[in-house]
Amino acid sequence: MKAPAFDYVKPRSLAEVFDLMARYGDDARILAGGQTLMATLNMRLSDPKILIDITRLQDLSRIEVRPGVLHIGALVTHTAIESSALVAEHAPLLAAAAPHIAHRAIRNSGTWGGSIAYGDPAAEWPCCLVALDGTVVVQGHGGQRRVKATDFFQDLYTTDLKPGEIVVGSEIPVMTRNHWCAFDELARRHGDYAVAGLAVVAEFDGTTARKVNLGLLGMGVIPLRAPRTEALLAGKVLDAGTIEIAAASLKAELDPLPDLTHGADTKRHLATVLMRRLLSAAHASRAALAI
Amino acid sequence: MNTVTTPNLLNADASIAGTEVEERPKIDHTDKPLPPVTEDPRYIGSSSERPSARKLVQGQGTYIDDLELPRMVHVVYWRSPLAHAKITRIGLDAARKAPGVVLVAAGSDVAKYCKPWVATLAHLAGMKSAPQYPLAMDRVYWQGEPVVAVVAETRQQAEDALPLIEVEFDELPPVVDMETALDPSTPLIHADLGDNLCFTRSLNVGDVDAAFAQADAVVGTTFQFGRHTGVTLEPRCQIADWSSADQKLTVWHSFQAPHMMQDLYSRQFDIPESNIRVVCKEVGGSFGIKVHAYPDDFATVALSMMCRRPVKFVADRLESFTSDIHARHHRVTARIGVKKSGEIVGFEMDDLTGIGPFSMFPRTSAIEGNQVVNLVGGPYKHQNYRAHLKVVFQNKTPTCQYRGVGHPIACAVTEGLVDMAARAIGMDPLEIRRKNVIPDDAYPATGASGIKLEVLSHEACLRKIELLMDYPKLKAEIADLRKQGIYRGIGFAALIELTNPSAAFYGVGGARIASQDGCTIRFDPSGAISVSVSVGEQGQGNDGIYRQIAADAVGVDLEKVRLVLSDTDVTPYGGGTWASRGAGVGGEAVLLAGQALRANIIKVAAIILKRDASELAVRRGAVVDAKTLEAVLEFPELGRIAYFRSDTLPADFTPELMVTRHYAQRDYPFIFTNGVQASYVEVDPDTGFVKLLKHWAVEDCGRVINPKLVDEQIRGAIVQGIGGALFEECLYDENGRLMNGSMADYLVPMSGEMPDIEVAHVQTPTRSSQLGAKGAGEAGTAGAPAAVMNAINDALAPLKAEVWSQPITPEKVLRALGKVS
Amino acid sequence: MSSTQMITVTVNGQDRCCHVEPRTHLVDFVRNDLGLKGSHLGCEHGVCGACTVEVDGRIVRGCLTLAVQTEGCRVRTIEGLSDDGDVRDLQESFVRNNALQCGFCTPGMVMAAKELLETRPNATRAEVREWMSGNFCRCTGYHAIVDAVCETLAERAKKRAA
């Protein structure tokens, strides 16, 4: 359908953005890439009075390495992340996940910040960010706040963003030689929202996994971690026996919502299949290094 | 630090950009050429370029939504959110006051202009349906039924007014489960009809019970086919333009059969037929979705009469999902009996199909089920067949003919049973088919269901596909990979497909749907020809083949042929596109007209040259000496004399350089085609995901007029069939509401998951026409679901799992494997 | 609230100055305000790809982009591409392979393929299939489209090597 009528403004500064947000409150929507917002408006599921286009704020479109962290600005597009040498080096998990996001035309417009702020539990970026133990940087009139990704996503499409705040970027701990990461998802068609997806970020000492982060998408109302299963994996060699124990634990730990064609049991099962595959790959990779 | 990207199930890439190295067996993709139908054949049988391709690739096509007429307004329909309810109040005042709104109308307003209709066919004995109006009257019968029309200056303004419409309902219990639709406790959708049964039919041929008693194995199962829909990329659209001064109606319509709509508008609105013109421009995909008469089609015409301005209707994608016809929801319980020798002794099947609350106008919603009865077992020579069909009403979107119409279901049931039989007796699936298909020298033949088969080539096609796919090599590959825990499978589907229909399909039932078509060819003064045909173009390439046939038949270069299609004011009267008849029926009319014009050209030349007509012939835009083939009169010169110098011609002679010929196929109820497809898949037993590795089709559609166009039709049809087999389903909740009516949730096949498709042909021409062409547009859709389903079950066989419910989702595979509950 | 804004945008090389409602999609702007009917509407959800156009050298969904967002940008549609001849080889290949039937998806396909040709000159057949999977076609079954794109990739590779 055609979108309902609204006003449109493109402020020049963050201060202007916050002023507008204070003035319009719930009647305003932030427009960055618009790939989610416009689809929502085109289905007339929402009726805002004004769109605040923040894409003039070029400060928010940088990818930078800062001490120990990779900073990704909110306005960085998915395509920019996909082709960034800095991302490839310091946060290769994102480079692995990027090609799964929708299709090229969407990736050219859609933004990192937009995806984080929307918090779709089936999306790739929120899942990767929680797996990486990243931090979301938000800002409002009162200044900047940093929120751990694992605290940021709270409920279905509900984040820690307070009224008058926007996501301005995020910080991701840079990968070191001892880190291993992988991303995989199962989607009916390339680019669809996945039925199940897994991001693994592990820190190794030889073939012993000191810490394993499991980020899951499509398993709940938010992008999930699996702390009980992660605890079982910590300090272990990821051999077949360990992986089986982890699979049983993950099955018990997950309580997925069914979707139109996949029941909870199927989703649970698929999550364990992904975990088996990625952890086996991690082990094989570390074992190969050790030779 | 290392990363892993998504594991690939298959490595099929080469190192050179865009290329792929693949070893193929040497095979003739098209049979040896048939004898020509014209003198100096140049184009029939060749892959000439389509006339519209160049403009379409540059975005210069004209589709209905591209048209803007003076004073044109836009209609948007407020559609029922409920599946079954009484309308208790409609409040339109607020909407009428909205900016830009010109008119707001409800059922009783439109009923003043347009009669209701009942969609039944007399030859489907006992079929019943209820009267239907363009807009709902006192009840709504499905979610998506149009209730109120809002007409405004812009589309945006019309949509803005929709939330201002007030409609109050008393909800009624919806009928949403076809299994219980006929239970006494289930509410009646139409009290006057007495029950929720639209149509039932039984067939009992031979003695199935005796045959099964003598069989060595009787196996069967229950097949499920999910309801799905066409999803034409260009949604349904039309512009209705009522000229109040001269009481004439023009409708610009994205449609397959303009003459049919001309007739229907005439009778539903009581307007003389000759005061109605229906014109189609480029059609962005139709596949049968655009061959039915929708309630909103009639409503849009009524609105134009009411506001005396052109009214444009373009279905939004969301409304397309609940208002375009659906199709193919069947539950078929079926069995097959087979002897150890491999002989199939009989088939038995019980088909239940759930349609909408009304049979769809005018082709009816019982045809699909009726065809399933006619077609199960089709390729085979058994003589025992028992079938039972029930078509029941439901409170869901109405259903009707969609590409393949019953064939995909019948073929999947048949071919699934044949594979089951093969496994039961330990026979190779290709071998059991070879043993049981009607032999190539046994025609004409009658199938067990009574279908009349002129001439088919099952044996030749089976031989060809075995070579084309290198079956032994693939079987060895599968056996090898199984040892490594990789599960691949091959599935075959032998199929028959009805094409070139006679009036037995609709005409005999009382529907004014033409099964004859015509072509007019005009010789222009410059020596070019203008060809007007009553069958139109929707992407399949009718424009291409008509140009080729006309060029060869008359004797001119391809570039000298101009086409005029899809305008009831201009073209001959005919049936348009349906049941794969464009090439066989429309093409024959073109051939006949071309031959007649050629003869008249020679007559004129004979007069001008003062020679006997028997000494003359036509070659490439000139009249030539029949013996030496030397040009004696160029076409432009003949045209100059015939049109501008009649003073130089004898008083008793008038050149007739514009001829019309018609053609109807009357030898058989249908001219059947046959083919065989094979699918090669890999099933991931851990995830249940299916990867389509390759697909092959050998198709016999008689004389192939343009190999490239036919092959592309077959490929597109196959992918459409794969959609139903793996991805597409209209999912309803228990309240009769469609849960996945958007492009995000209704999954259509995209390029990433589709296989390469190799097509080859056998050519067995039909003798019912000179051209010998049979239809080809639907066979791909008929066979693909069966081939893919059989391939998946072949892959799962070692794991003792099978899936008979389409679409085959990963969850269904996992359930079959016992991996999820 | 339905007031219009003025935008200045270069469309197919021509500077345009137009008044648009903020809610107007880019694809509706080029179709209805500028008469460029070659870009099509298939869903308005951003899924089918029929509305794909180019903004500042990158493909976007015309139904998920507002005309007002293209202030100061360079927009190109299938008409501009065709007139400029940028992808004449690709378009010829489409015709040769009959990689179009009804033609409704074709401008979007050409747009998407163009960006592949420019950014992935060494794409394999599988990568072409994956890239093009953002554009829905109901007619062709995709095989011929993939053939046409691969053929163009190969030809361009040959030219580069020469």
Chain B interface test: which of C3, C40, C78, C139 (most B C-beta within 10 Å): C139
Mean pLDDT, chain A, as a whole number? 97
Q: Which of B88, B59, B170, B29 is nearest to B762 (CA)?
A: B29
pLDDT tens track for C105-126: 999 999 999 999 999 999 999 9
Q: Is residue C132 located within the same domain as residue C66?
A: no
- Please answer yes or no on whether A190 and B156 come within 8 Å at the CB atom: no
- Please answer yes or no on whether C44 and A2 come within 8 Å at the CB atom: yes
Q: Do domains A7-53 and A179-290 have the same CATH topology?
A: no
CA distances (Å), A62 to each of A22, A31, A59, A127, B500, in order?
A: 26, 18, 6, 21, 63
Chains adjacent to C (≥3 CB pairs closer than 8 angstroms): A, B
The whole-number pLDDT of residue B1 equals 38
Using an 8 Å Cβ cutoff, are B592 and B552 in contact? no
Query: What are φ and ψ of residue B644, in 5° steps?
Result: -115, -15
- Please answer yes or no on whether C69 and A2 come within 8 Å at the CB atom: no
Q: Is residue C56 located within the same domain as residue C91?
A: no
Vertex B251 angle, CA B316 and B537, to 5°: 80
Distance from CA of A190 to the nearest CA of B (A): 6
The whole-number pLDDT of residue B817 equals 98
Prediction ipTM score: 0.98
The whole-number pLDDT of residue B504 equals 86
The answer to whether residue C2 scores a pLDDT higher than 90 is no
**Residue A181 sits at the chain B interface (C-beta within 8 Å):** yes
Rounded Cα gap, residues B774 and B456, in angstroms: 11
Using an 8 Å Cβ cutoff, are B805 and B494 in contact? no
Q: Is residue C59 located within the same domain as residue C99?
A: no
Chain B interface test: which of C39, C142, C150 (most B C-beta within 10 Å): C142
Calculate mean pLDDT across residues B326-334.
Answer: 98
Domain ranges in chain A? 7-53, 58-173, 179-290
Residue in B17, B232, B286 nearest the CB of C123: B17
Rounded Cα gap, residues B778 and B578, in angstroms: 10
Rounded Cα gap, residues C126 and C147, in angstroms: 11
Q: Give the pLDDT band (50/70/90) at residue B31.
A: low
Pick the residue from chain B with its C-alpha nearest to A279: B4
The whole-number pLDDT of residue B505 equals 86
pLDDT tens track for B343-376: 999 999 999 999 999 999 999 999 999 999 999 9
Number of domains making up chain C = 2
Distance from CA of B59 to the nearest CA of C (A): 4
What percent of chain A lies above the pLDDT cut of 90? 99
Pick the residue from chain B with its C-alpha nearest to C126: B13
Chain B interface test: which of C143, C146, C155 (most B C-beta within 10 Å): C143
For helices B635-644 and B587-609, the axis angle rounded to 10 degrees is: 80
Look up the CATH number of domain A179-290: 3.30.390.50
CA distances (Å), B118 to each of B36, B115, B198, B266, B606, in order?
A: 47, 10, 12, 16, 56
Which pair of tokens denotes residue B166? 């007030």
> Residues 246-285, chain A: which have Cβ within 8 Å of B?
260-263, 265-266, 269-270, 273, 276-278, 281-282, 285
Using an 8 Å Cβ cutoff, are B186 and B196 in contact? yes
3-state secondary structure chain C: CCCCEEEEEEECCEEEEEEECCCCEHHHHHHHHCCCCCCCCCCCCCCCCCCEEEECCEEEECCCCEHHHHCCCEEECHHHHHHHCCCHHHHHHHHHCCCCCCCCCHHHHHHHHHHHHHHCCCCCHHHHHHHHHHCCCCCCCCHHHHHHHHHHHHHHHHHHHC
**Residue B573 sits at the chain C interface (C-beta within 8 Å):** no
3-state secondary structure B216-263: CEEEEEEEEECCEECCCCCCCEEEEEEECCCCEEEEEECCCCHHHHHH
Vertex C17 angle, CA A13 and A114, to 5°: 35
Which pair of tokens denotes residue B713? 């039709």
Q: What is the dihedral of CA B796, B798, B804, B810, to 10 degrees?
A: -30
Q: Which of B223, B49, B61, B74 is nearest to B156 (CA)?
A: B74
Q: Is residue C114 located within the same domain as residue C72?
A: no
Which pair of tokens denotes residue A287? 């074992």
3-state secondary structure A71-96: EEECCCEHHHHHCCHHHHHHCHHHHH
Residue in A179, A184, A260 nearest the CB of B1: A179
Give me the residue label for tokens 């040497």: B26
The answer to whether residue B27 scores a pLDDT higher than 70 is no
Q: Is residue C71 located within the same domain as residue C111?
A: no
Using an 8 Å Cβ cutoff, are B571 and B530 in contact? no
- Please answer yes or no on whether C68 and A2 come within 8 Å at the CB atom: no
Q: Which of C136, A98, A196, A260 is nearest to B689 (CA)?
A: A196
User: What is the CATH classification number for the domain harbouring C43?
Assistant: 3.10.20.30
Q: Is residue C99 located within the same domain as residue C43?
A: no
The answer to whether residue B119 scores a pLDDT higher than 50 is yes
Rounded Cα gap, residues B437 and B592, in angstroms: 35
Residue in C102, C123, C132 nearest the CB of B18: C123
Q: Give the pLDDT band (50/70/90) at residue B424.
A: very high
Q: Please say which residue of C63, C81, C99 terminates a domain.
A: C81
**Residue B754 sits at the chain C interface (C-beta within 8 Å):** yes
Q: Is residue C131 located within the same domain as residue C67?
A: no
The answer to whether residue A229 scores a pLDDT higher than 80 is yes
- Please answer yes or no on whether B1 and A180 come within 8 Å at the CB atom: yes
pLDDT tens track for B694-724: 999 999 999 999 999 999 999 999 999 999 9
Distance from CA of C58 to the nearest CA of A (A): 7
Taking CB atoms and an 8 Å cut-off, how many pairs form between chains B and C?
A: 202
- Please answer yes or no on whether A273 and B318 come within 8 Å at the CB atom: no
The whole-number pLDDT of residue B16 equals 39
Q: Is residue C13 located within the same domain as residue C31?
A: yes
Residue in A175, A192, A265 nearest the CB of B1: A175
Q: Is residue C64 located within the same domain as residue C104?
A: no
Q: Give the pLDDT band (50/70/90) at residue B28.
A: low
User: Three-state DSSP class for B668?
Assistant: coil
- Please answer yes or no on whether A2 and C61 come within 8 Å at the CB atom: no
pLDDT tens track for A89-99: 999 999 999 99
The domain over range A7-53 is classified in CATH as 3.30.43.10: yes
Residue in B66, B233, B718 nearest the CB of C50: B233
Residue C21: domain span: 5-81
pLDDT tens track for A140-184: 999 999 999 999 999 999 999 999 999 999 999 999 999 999 999
Q: Is residue C52 located within the same domain as residue C120?
A: no
Mean pLDDT, chain B, as a whole number? 95
Taking CB atoms and an 8 Å cut-off, how many pairs form between chains A and B?
A: 101
Q: Give the pLDDT band (50/70/90) at residue B22.
A: very low
**Encoded amino acid at B297, one letter:** D
Mean pLDDT, chain C, as a whole number? 97
pLDDT tens track for B724-773: 999 999 999 999 999 999 999 999 999 999 999 999 999 999 999 999 99
Rounded Cα gap, residues C17 and B818, in angstroms: 64
In this structure, the number of other CB atoms found within 10 A of the CB of residue B761 comes to: 26
Using an 8 Å Cβ cutoff, are B181 and B392 in contact? yes
pLDDT tens track for B649-696: 999 999 999 999 999 999 999 999 999 999 999 999 999 999 999 999
The answer to whether residue B21 scores a pLDDT higher than 80 is no
Residue in B56, B716, B743 nearest the CB of C48: B743
The answer to whether residue A67 scores a pLDDT higher than 90 is yes
Residues of A in contact with B689 (CB under 8 A): 186
What percent of chain B lies above the pLDDT cut of 70? 96
**Encoded amino acid at B805, one letter:** S
Residue in C1, C45, C69 nearest the CB of A42: C45
- Please answer yes or no on whether C1 and A55 come within 8 Å at the CB atom: no
- Please answer yes or no on whether B53 and C152 come within 8 Å at the CB atom: no
User: What is the CATH classification number for the domain harbouring C119?
Assistant: 1.10.150.120
Pick the residue from chain B with its C-alpha nearest to C146: B751
Chains adjacent to B (≥3 CB pairs closer than 8 angstroms): A, C
Query: What's chain B's length in residues?
Result: 821
What percent of chain B lies above the pLDDT cut of 90? 95
Q: Please say which residue of C81, C106, C134 terminates a domain.
A: C81
- Please answer yes or no on whether C49 and A105 come within 8 Å at the CB atom: yes
Q: Which of the listed CATH numbers 3.30.465.10, 3.40.50.300, 3.40.50.1360, 3.40.50.720 matches domain A58-173? A: 3.30.465.10
Q: Which of B6, B5, B10 is nearest to B487 (CA)?
A: B10
Chain A interface test: which of C66, C73, C136 (most A C-beta within 10 Å): C66
Residue in B4, B689, B729 nearest the CB of A186: B689
The whole-number pLDDT of residue A289 equals 87
CA distances (Å), B737 to each of B14, B84, B173, B665, C99, in order?
A: 47, 10, 12, 43, 37
Q: What is the dihedral of CA B752, B753, B756, B760, to 10 degrees?
A: -140
Using an 8 Å Cβ cutoff, are A174 and A161 in contact? no
Q: Give the pLDDT band (50/70/90) at residue B32.
A: confident
Calculate mean pLDDT across residues B216-220.
Answer: 98
Q: Please say which residue of C53, C81, C109 terminates a domain.
A: C81
Burial C28-67 (b: 16+ CB within 10 A, else e): bbbbbebebbbbbbbbbbbbbbbbbbbbeebbbbbbbbbb
Q: Is residue C124 located within the same domain as residue C157?
A: yes
3-state secondary structure A158-200: EECCCCCCEEEEEEEECCCCCEEEEEEEECCCCCCCCCEEEEE
> Residues 520-539, chain B: which have Cβ within 8 Å of C?
538-539
Q: Give the pLDDT band (50/70/90) at residue B33.
A: confident
Pick the residue from chain A with its C-alpha nearest to B743: A192
Residue in B58, B233, B712 nearest the CB of C78: B58
- Please answer yes or no on whether A175 and B821 come within 8 Å at the CB atom: no
Q: Which of A109, A55, A118, A107 is nearest to A82 (CA)?
A: A107
Calculate mean pLDDT across residues B391-413.
Answer: 98
**Residue B153 sits at the chain C interface (C-beta within 8 Å):** no
> Residues 689-748, chain B: which have Cβ within 8 Å of C?
708-709, 712-713, 715-720, 742-744, 748
Residue in B7, B689, B749 nearest the CB of A184: B7
**Encoded amino acid at A235, one letter:** G
Q: Is residue C69 located within the same domain as residue C93?
A: no
